[in-house]
Structure 1
Amino acid sequence: MQGRTGVGIWAGFAAIMVWCLLPVVWIIMLSFKSVDETSAGSPQFFPQDFTLANYGDILSDSDFTNALINSFGISLIATVLSVIFATFTAYAIARLEFRGKKLVLSIALAIAMFPVVALVGPLFDMWRTFGLFNTWPGLIIPYMSFTLPLAIWTLSAFFREIPWEMEQAAQVDGATSWQAFRKVIVPLAAPGVFTAAILTFFFAWNEFVLAISLTTTVDGGATSTGARTVPAQMSFFVGPDPFNPPYSQLATASVVVTIPIIVIVLLFQRKIVAGLTSGAVKG
């Protein structure tokens, strides 16, 4: 019975891995196919002739490399600012008793659930008036508006799990409130901070609606890509006609864009797992 159970577990594990990884492997194989092969409707899984020309073309495209730089910069700044503000806000919500605390959390949750499409029109007009259209701050500000509520909810749950006595003990030993917060509370909440930072970065890295709506403009007949991010830039990958999109180039760009996310997850996987499982076991 134990042997059959073990075989069943491994068979189920293999089936899940194939189900999850098959689309990823398909995209990788597609990135090694030439444009002519994909245009001809190549049905085979593996390329007839492996080629790295797609990666060379993508990485030599100045618009795509600029979009990569924009994505890194905008996502990183939005993540850092959101985590800093969310840390102070979540600490105040978890530690202090004040009127309207539940209302603040409810409003934060409502903002996080608000549809992004409903804000595109007003933001478009406002950013054009204020000179923020097609700029980094023009994307960082709305990104923070949607990532702050999620970070506040995540971090407030972690701060509630930290014993209040530890902060009081630090203050008894002579530490100020700021020192106790910085040297005791924040290190203990590090898994939650990393979790909030990763979730915030993923949102900013993958966001498309705001990126395509608040960056695409035409100056003197030429399209400007000053602050366009990678998801928005990939929508401009067009083939010779609407019926022959460049599948191989799109797959190559998808692989290149996914690599930084994989690297981040591998580097901080222990922090992410600790953050996601913190508080799951009591006692």
Structure 2
Amino acid sequence: MTDMRRRRFVRERFLQLAGLLIVLWSVGPFLWQVSTSLQPDRLLMETPPSLLPIPPTFEHFRNVFVIKEFHWYILNSVIIAGATTLFCLLFGTLGAFALARFDIRGRYGILGVILSISMFPQIAIVAPLYLTMSSLNLLDTYTSLIVIDLALGLPLVIWVLFGYFHAIPREIDEAATIDGAGPLRTLWLIILPMALPGIVTTGLLVFIATWNEFMFALAFTSTIDRQPIPVGIANFQNLYYVPWGDLAAASVVVTLPLVAMVLVFQRRIIAGLTQGAVKE
């Protein structure tokens, strides 16, 4: 074996080992949660802890859905995250298209102002937003959480989609105009299909961020009718006892949909993350 082949062999084995370590680092916590959710309480209290759920039990999943009515929290999160993602993509697409395809003076300054909105720490704005929602009688409603999550997610959507729309050649717009297509028709029939990987990737980022949002949901909701998943999980523990098995079961239940979405849209996500690296 020549030195070049030997170096190539070592480099390939190193990359494979590094990839395996990254997979274990990423999947390990989730597998530990799955194991914890299937272990009886007596095994969770043992030292050292057991790695395998022997014997397995589904008692924690029963507690989550039957006793704690976790399905209502899931429904609330689906409504809030789904509506927020839909509105973010709708308004963000229109805003990014206008800034990227029209000759707007100072558009980069406008982008800077839009992006600066998302830089405010949440803890600094939760109090004034709470007073505002209280004066509008919107506390403990879907509307309050959707509006706030929309304000937080919209700058990211506009900023990311601006890059995708701006990279599309302007000649496409000119050809569409010659064929009689207006701006909205050009956006719907031509620009959106070309930027679909970026739209899917951006939508998933907004959905995941909204799905995991905790601070505003905790501040603005007070009943199970409107509280999303993070608040529901926080309500599991009490002053003297932490139900680790129930917390693990709930974590597994809310993580599986996100994993499934990433697996279903993995090709779109990869295309969306790498598209900007290709210069046309």
**Residues 50-199 of structure 1 mapped to structure 2, 5 A cutoff:** 50-61=56-67, 63-199=69-205
**How far apart, CA to CA, are the structure 1 residues paired with 2:199 and 2:20?**
33
Deviations 1:37-61 (A, max 9, x none): 3245561211232111111221224
Higher mean alpha-carbon deviation, 138-147 vs 27-36, is at 27-36
**How far apart, CA to CA, are the structure 2 residues paired with 1:205 and 1:99?**
36
Contact 2:43 2:50 in 1 (8 A): no
Q: Which residue of 1 aligns with 2:230?
A: 231
Letter in 2 for 1:31: S
- Residue 252 of structure 2 is aligned with which of 251, 255, 263? 255
TM-score after normalising by structure 2: 0.92
Contact 1:74 1:204 in 2 (8 A): yes
Structure 1, unaligned runs of 5 or more = 217-223
Deviations 1:2-29 (A, max 9, x none): 4333333322222222222222211110
1:265 aligns with 2:251: no
Q: Which residue of 2 aligns with 1:245?
A: 242
1:281 aligns with 2:274: no
Higher mean alpha-carbon deviation, 110-119 vs 137-146, is at 110-119
Higher mean alpha-carbon deviation, 25-34 vs 177-186, is at 177-186
1:19 aligns with 2:25: yes
Q: Which residue of 1 aligns with 2:212?
A: 206
**How far apart, CA to CA, are the structure 2 residues paired with 1:79 and 1:32?**
33
| Paired residue total | 274
Letter in 2 for 1:27: Q
Q: Which residue of 2 aligns with 1:220?
A: none
The Cα RMSD (Å) is 1.7
- SS of the equivalent of 2:181 reads coil
- Residue 9 of structure 1 is aligned with which of 11, 15, 29? 15
Letter in 2 for 1:250: L
Describe the shift of the 1:146–1:10 C-alpha distance in structure 2 as closer, same or farther (beyond 3 A): same
**How far apart, CA to CA, are the structure 1 residues paired with 2:229 and 2:10?**
48
Deviations 1:127-151 (A, max 9, x none): 1221110100010000001100000
- SS of the equivalent of 1:163 reads coil
- SS of the equivalent of 1:55 reads helix
- Identical aligned residues as a percent: 33
- SS of the equivalent of 2:277 reads coil
Letter in 2 for 1:247: W
Contact 1:78 1:144 in 2 (8 A): yes
Letter in 1 for 2:253: V
